[in-house]
Amino acid sequence: MNEKTNVLKQTAAFTARNIKLFFKDKGMWISALIAPLIILMLYVLFLHNVLESSFVVGLPEGLTLGDRLIGGYVAAYEVSSILAVCCVTVAFIANSAMVGDRITGARADLTVSPVKGRVLVLGYYFATAVVTIAICFIAMLAGFCYIAAMGWGLSVADVFAIVLDVFLASLFGTALSSVVCYFLKSRGAISAVSTVVSSVYGFICGAYYPISQFSSGIANMVMCLPGTYCTSLLRSHFMLGYASEFSAAGLPDGAVDGILGAFDAKVTFFGTSVPTWAMYVVVTCSIVALVGIFVLLNTVKLRKKTVKCIRNEKNAIADD
């Protein structure tokens, strides 16, 4: 067996071990699973009518739209908001295996074992990614059911694009949480960070409140953050499909563009419209950069430990 094959097998085994540890804690995975569903329920019970009312108020005078068209468009906005946040918050919860190993001392035991450092790094990342993607896909399916009940307006191409968006957003959330959780050394710390992220991230990425409603300075600052483009991708693919239905219902093109812009289905950066391909480039580059930082942090730490062990051995030999 060559070294490459051995590393792949070790990585797969360590990834499976981390996934089992996560799902072994029923409270952990159940809380991660129901969190997006609870947020969806809160939208349905408390905010859906408010969003529908604000949508209707913005329509040209004398023009009315069908209830299912309005309800479906607002539901698409709500689901895209939930997924944009959960792809990051769930990743922080899923990273508990890495923090748990540091707390119990298992990480220290693993670093002195024959297992290579890159196996540990990739095993933690892949396990967190698998858990996050699985839970977010379940939330996505629940969101599709909700949109179908309110008024379906998505094409097959939109659905496939949304699946890709959730996948990329989950990888981004995994990379971001891996870098942040690298510095955490207690369950209390990861719990506190998860709470802060779930409260703040939704606002700074434009999920809880439309970027179009911010002042120009804050809007441009928010557009500098890579997480915003995950939200924008989900917004565009969930909501742009309703544009043709708005036009068919009698809305002029200017009014359609205004509605799409007001709900962030179309975003601008310093007055320039941001195309979809540019959003994908930003998100992909951000994932690569964050994974690179995570690998670099672990590599530097492992080298320091190796140097320290060598020095201790030399000192022990000198003392003898």
Per-residue pLDDT tens digits for 286-296:
999 999 998 88
Distances (CA, A) of 255 to 58, 61, 71, 104: 9, 11, 18, 58
Worst-scoring range by mean pLDDT, 161-170, 200-209, 219-228, 307-316? 307-316
Q: Which residues pair with 273 in a beta bridge?
A: 268
Which pTM value belongs to this model?
Answer: 0.88
Task: Give 210's DSSP letter.
Answer: -
pLDDT classification of 106: cutoffs 50, 70, 90: low
pLDDT at 136 over 80: yes
Could you tell me the CA-to-CA distances from 55 to 1, 70, 77 in Å, in that order? 63, 8, 11
- As for how many domains the chain has, the answer is 1
DSSP state of 242: G
Cβ 233 vs Cβ 276: under 8 Å: yes
The parent domain of residue 269 ranges over: 3-319
Residue 153 is which amino acid? G
Q: What is the mean pLDDT of residues 154-179?
A: 94
Helix (H, G, I), strand (E, B) or coil at 78: helix
Question: What's the mean pLDDT in 116-126?
Answer: 80
Q: Which residues pair with 10 in a beta bridge?
A: none
pLDDT the model gives residue 110? 60
Q: What is the pLDDT of residue 282?
A: 94
- The separation between the first and the last C-alpha atoms of the chain, rounded to the nearest angstrom, is 40
pLDDT at 117 over 80: no
pLDDT in tens, 229-278: 999 999 999 988 888 888 887 788 888 888 888 888 888 888 788 899 99
